[in-house]
Amino acid sequence: MNGLTMKKTTSLLCALDGPARSLLAEIDDIDAISFAAVKNLLTKRFGPISLPDVHEQALQDLKLVRGQPIREITTEVSRLTKLAYPSLMPLPENAWPRKP
């Protein structure tokens, strides 16, 4: 494991708090574990980070308060839309096939 990866792994392990800190007890050799292995252990324990159903519900519950400018809510609507419907987001320009 190179120095950067080792530092990244150590930083992640030091940042663990609450229920995630108990993950340290499951690691046999903290000096030899990789960043990917720590990430996989966290994902197995706490599940994936993509929760489109939760974000879709939050988007449905979002309400514009009387007298509130619509501009105040547009950033939250955009953020929740991207999280709730990730497959609908446009592809970057370099993802489209180019004409020969």
pLDDT at 34 over 60: yes
pLDDT per residue as tens digits for the range 37-80: 888 888 888 776 667 888 888 889 998 889 988 888 998 898 88
pLDDT at 35 over 80: yes
pLDDT per residue as tens digits for the range 82-94: 888 877 766 666 6
Q: What is the mean pLDDT of residues 14-39?
A: 84
**Model pLDDT, residue 42:** 84
Buried/exposed code over 21-57 (b: 16+ C-beta within 10 A; e: otherwise): eebeeeeeeeeebebeebeeeeeeeeeeeeeeeebee
